[in-house]
Structure 1
Amino acid sequence: MSSRIPESDSHENEMKLNHKNNETKDFDPDFNRVVSEITKEGNDSNDTSNQDNDIEKQNKSDLHMDRGYAWVICFASFLLNFSSWGQNSGFAIYFSYYLNNNTFPDATKLDYSFIGGIAFGVGLSFSPLINFMMGKIGTRPSIAIGNCLQFTALMLASFSRKKWQLYLTQGLMQSFGLALISIPGTTVLPQYFKKKRVLAGGLATAGSGVGGICFNLGMQHVVETKGVFWALRTQSIIGFILVWVSISLIRTRDKTINIQFTAFDKDIVRTAGFWIFAFFVVTCMFGYVVVLYTLAQFTTSLGYSEYQGSISSAMVQLGSAMGRPCIGLLSDRFGGVTVSSVAYTVVGVLCLAMWIPARTFGTVIAFAIIEGALMGSIYGMLAPAVARTFGIRKMNVTFSMVWMIMGVAGLFSPVIGIKLKQGGGGYVDPTQYVHCAIFAGCSFLASAASLVILRGYIKARDFVSEKGDSDSIDPIGITVSVRDVLKSCFKESHEKT
């Protein structure tokens, strides 16, 4: 018997099957929707695959966070801070020497304060352009250029004999060297740390404290034995060598994380968080630079020697070296913005309650250590707080705009400090720096208040989003009301702030 089905029967069966399918469609109202969803899933398979690849890439990236070579990067950042901000802290020694010994006869105390402000702030004011340059030539070449500029600046300053020469070398050229070293070095660290981000930032920025101790005490000794110009030469050589060591160790993960290297982002400027951040940076720098640059002179105004003045300045750096890692540990547990708001409240109160009545060397040393331990909290918490507020992908561009504001504030801070000082240099009068102390104290208290508001802003945004951590979302588009910000200043959420 043949098993072949007649063509007429086959056609009849096919007609019945099609009729049954049509009946099924009519019976099931969700049939078309299901088919549509299946078709859509097929069309979106490439997008889903790409998203899965991005997630897998991010997960692999996270495996290297907080361990292994990340701690080598932390050490490299420590060396960069030692050789940039640590060297800049040493300007207090030169500032005091220039002022008290009339090193440049045509220069006034306002000139020296402007040189210190230029060295601190002008280069940072060009942070957006530096960030753009980093995207074009890379992080390590940018640091190398900064190292050459800083070395050349201090070496040429050691041969300067006129005021304008000091402006160009120890002021302007060193400022760009400082910016090209510190900005790339600071933005690399958060790429390697997440859970221990603030601790790593505290350890790395402790380098500026250790550098400040070495350059303040070491260069003061060179000034007394060989002269101020040999101190500048010695400092330039030490920093030059150490930065090259750091360059050989540092690696970036810019391509893995898709870091944004544009010079400006209008979406960030439109957020309230940016302007709260800006106010914090400005007020913090006003207090920080005034204390940093005037404490050595305040010590000599009490009748103590220039060497004792250098010790008080070095104690600020000793406090910084000890305090920043401790602040980092506390910040990883309670949140960087939270801990820093407490720290700046304390330093603001101490400026008013301890600096003004200080009349003995022991009191000055105690004040210097405590202030140093707490007032530099900004450098350890700034990068993590920027990443927390604006997202890690926009960290570089936000950081560059924040650095620009910091540079402007740092440029004028020494000038404000020297204008508030009463009288000239070289004589004993304990009341010369009362107005400086009041200004610094009020600035620190204002910065603490702004951090409390920033904390409320971040917490309010967290309650709106409630989607994972800040590294995996784009927080720029989330808006919150002023009322919610004020209500959230002391609340808790799923992520530490």
Structure 2
Amino acid sequence: MARRMQTLEHRLQDNSNEPDGGYGWVCVAACFTINAFTWGVVSSYGVYLAHYLSNETFTEARPIDFAFIGGLNFAVAMLAAPVVTALVRRYEIHLPMSLGILMFGIAYASASFSWRIWQLYLSQGVLVGLGVGFLYIPSIAILSQWFSTKRSLANGISAAGSGIGGLIFSLSTGATIENLGLAWSLRLVGVMAVTVNTLATIFIRSRNRVVQPASIPFDVVLLRRYEVFLLLTWAFISMFGYIVLLFSLSDYAISIGLSRDQAVQITAYLNLGTAVGRPVIGTISDRYGRIEIAGLLTLLCGLCCFVLWLPFQSFAVTVVFAIISGAILGVFWVTIGPLCVEVAGLEELPSLLSLAWLTTVLPTAFSETIALQLRRPGMKREYLYPQIFSGLSYILASFCLWELRRHRKSLSRTDAARNQSTR
């Protein structure tokens, strides 16, 4: 496997004047923009969630309905991965991404006219998720094709786009809902996302003809590898903590007596931490080890839930927690591409990414629903159990990466001993 990866890296270098960048930096900018106007938009759903929970916009809806709609954004996007991968294999990246732009625009336009909860399920839930999936999934493998030593840095800068987008849309969504109403807030988001994502799609380029990835939508053979099992288990468990933190923090702020403006600010600070933290994660991952840094930050995020989020109920401490957790809670999105390359190689990257996306479908769909079921309205500490749930999810997930690190070191020692004995 190592020899195969080295040969592939040489092929990349032979087919590009600047294999560790070059036009790849244009692709970084395009991926950054796509993250900002897909996941950045989705991460502001916490503002919509707080609005839905506090207003009777949909009279027949229950709180669990709104939680599940937010989860569908992620779950449907990940569920679309095999179809998107197959389309990329046959038509390259621009056709599925163009379909994603179309679905994203229709989703927010139709959500603005929704007056029944099932309509919101289909528009702001399913259709938004499909739009994100068709836009994001083709783009995630591209940066690993353009970079080698700076692979995590490039992915970190790209992933920071969701933080910048989340910061912008968290602040603007609260303001537009208050001043223009819910419907126009949704329409404006749709128009901006369609316009900017169209420009990003025009400039992005893949190197599939050079790399010749396997692009098998669902390669079950990979599941036989212990390393793949550990990586996917980490993805599955950590997503429970991620979605709870991302969507619950705004409503949590209201539950402890903060104003609606302060709740919006908390979500904005969370996204600010994301924007600042993700390039840093990429840089230190390239230098100190991608598996090691991902495991450490996953553990740290869980510990922050217990040290900062759980014991304190003030605006100042919640802001500090939002910034710190925002920087590290999305470590999955920064590192999953480079980690898949480390575990399976560039040629298997699309296949393993498809498996990773499918692994996260259930936790992204149901984690916020679980959190609202654990919530205890009327109690002094309404979000106590969701806080514990989120923290434990991150801590348990970190053990998978520590075991992955131990297993890889064990294999390296075995290979070294075997090579020594054959000399």
Give the TM interval when normalised to the shorter protein.
over 0.9
Residue 386 (structure 2) aligned to one of 408, 424, 436: 436
TM alignment of 1:121-132, pairs within 5 A: 121-132=75-86
Residue 195 (structure 1) aligned to one of 149, 155, 162: 149
Instruction: Quote the Cα distance in structure 2 between the aligned partners of 1:438 and 1:347.
Output: 12
Deviation sequence 1:63-85 (CA, Å, 0-9, x none) = 43222211111111100100111
1:97 pairs with 2:97: no
Instruction: Quote the Cα distance in structure 1 between the aligned partners of 2:245 and 2:401.
Output: 20
1:215 pairs with 2:169: yes
Deviation sequence 1:144-177 (CA, Å, 0-9, x none) = 1011101100110000001110011001111111
Structure 1 pair 465–140 and aligned structure 2 pair: CA distance change class (3 A): farther
Q: Which residue of 1 aligns with 2:182?
A: 228
CA contact (8 A) 2:105 2:193 kept: yes
Q: Which amino acid aligns with 1:116?
A: G
Instruction: Quote the Cα distance in structure 1 between the aligned partners of 2:80 and 2:8.
Output: 33
Q: Which residue of 2 aligns with 1:447?
A: 397
Structure 1 pair 435–66 and aligned structure 2 pair: CA distance change class (3 A): same
Instruction: Quote the Cα distance in structure 1 between the aligned partners of 2:282 and 2:77.
Output: 27
Instruction: Quote the Cα distance in structure 2 between the aligned partners of 1:397 and 1:190.
Output: 14
Structure 1 pair 209–139 and aligned structure 2 pair: CA distance change class (3 A): same
Structure 1 pair 264–360 and aligned structure 2 pair: CA distance change class (3 A): same
CA contact (8 A) 2:79 2:357 kept: yes
CA contact (8 A) 1:295 1:313 kept: yes
> Offset at 1:57?
4.2
Residue 414 (structure 1) aligned to one of 368, 386, 389: 368
The residue matched to 1:319 in structure 2 has which SS?
Answer: helix
1:112 pairs with 2:66: yes
The residue matched to 2:347 in structure 1 has which SS?
Answer: helix
TM alignment of 1:319-398, pairs within 5 A: 319-398=273-352
Deviation sequence 1:411-439 (CA, Å, 0-9, x none) = 1111111111112xxx7x55000001101
Instruction: Quote the Cα distance in structure 1 between the aligned partners of 2:222 and 2:16.
Output: 26
TM alignment of 1:453-468, pairs within 5 A: 453-464=403-414
Farther-moved stretch of structure 1 (451-460 vs 142-151) = 451-460
Instruction: Quote the Cα distance in structure 2 between the aligned partners of 1:311 and 1:239.
Output: 22
1:269 pairs with 2:223: yes
Instruction: Quote the Cα distance in structure 2 between the aligned partners of 1:325 and 1:57.
Output: 27
Instruction: Quote the Cα distance in structure 2 between the aligned partners of 1:230 and 1:57.
Output: 50
CA contact (8 A) 1:209 1:319 kept: yes
Cα root mean square deviation, aligned: 1.6
1:293 pairs with 2:243: no
Structure 1 pair 430–410 and aligned structure 2 pair: CA distance change class (3 A): same
> Offset at 1:316?
0.8
Q: What is the aligned length? A: 410
Deviation sequence 1:88-145 (CA, Å, 0-9, x none) = 1011111110011121000000111111111221231231222111111211111110
Structure 1 pair 464–238 and aligned structure 2 pair: CA distance change class (3 A): farther
Q: Which amino acid aligns with 1:154?
A: Y
Residue 244 (structure 1) aligned to one of 182, 190, 198: 198
Farther-moved stretch of structure 1 (283-292 vs 336-345) = 336-345
Deviation sequence 1:469-490 (CA, Å, 0-9, x none) = xxxxxxxxxxxxxxxxxxxxxx
Instruction: Quote the Cα distance in structure 2 between the aligned partners of 1:203 and 1:295.
Output: 24
The residue matched to 2:258 in structure 1 has which SS?
Answer: coil
Q: Which amino acid aligns with 2:307?
A: A
Structure 1 pair 383–55 and aligned structure 2 pair: CA distance change class (3 A): closer
Q: Which residue of 2 aligns with 1:178?
A: 132
Q: Which amino acid aligns with 1:252?
A: S
Q: Which amino acid aligns with 1:458?
A: R
CA contact (8 A) 1:389 1:458 kept: no
CA contact (8 A) 2:12 2:19 kept: no
Structure 1 pair 132–453 and aligned structure 2 pair: CA distance change class (3 A): same
Deviation sequence 1:296-341 (CA, Å, 0-9, x none) = 0010011112121111011111000000111111111101111121
Q: Which residue of 2 aligns with 1:66?
A: 20
Give structure 1 stretches of 5+ with no counterpart: 1-52, 467-497
Percent identity, aligned pairs only, is: 30
The residue matched to 2:15 in structure 1 has which SS?
Answer: helix
Instruction: Quote the Cα distance in structure 2 between the aligned partners of 1:55 and 1:298.
Output: 47
Instruction: Quote the Cα distance in structure 2 between the aligned partners of 1:407 and 1:189.
Output: 24
Instruction: Quote the Cα distance in structure 2 between the aligned partners of 1:97 and 1:118.
Output: 18
Instruction: Quote the Cα distance in structure 1 between the aligned partners of 2:361 and 2:284.
Output: 28
TM-score between the two structures when normalised by the length of structure 2: 0.94
Q: Which residue of 2 aligns with 1:474?
A: none
Q: Which amino acid aligns with 2:402?
A: V
1:204 pairs with 2:204: no
Report 1 or 2 for greater relative contact order, CA contacts < 8 Å, sequence distance ≥ 6: 2
Instruction: Quote the Cα distance in structure 2 between the aligned partners of 1:129 and 1:298.
Output: 37
CA contact (8 A) 1:125 1:408 kept: no
Q: Which amino acid aligns with 1:440?
A: S
CA contact (8 A) 1:324 1:373 kept: yes
TM alignment of 1:126-145, pairs within 5 A: 126-145=80-99
Q: Which amino acid aligns with 1:373?
A: A
Structure 1 pair 362–248 and aligned structure 2 pair: CA distance change class (3 A): same
CA contact (8 A) 2:28 2:158 kept: yes
> Offset at 1:266?
2.6
Instruction: Quote the Cα distance in structure 2 between the aligned partners of 1:389 and 1:459.
Output: 13
CA contact (8 A) 2:217 2:350 kept: no
Instruction: Quote the Cα distance in structure 2 between the aligned partners of 1:298 and 1:58.
Output: 48
Instruction: Quote the Cα distance in structure 2 between the aligned partners of 1:56 and 1:80.
Output: 29
Structure 1 pair 307–55 and aligned structure 2 pair: CA distance change class (3 A): closer
Instruction: Quote the Cα distance in structure 2 between the aligned partners of 1:54 and 1:205.
Output: 25
CA contact (8 A) 1:151 1:236 kept: yes
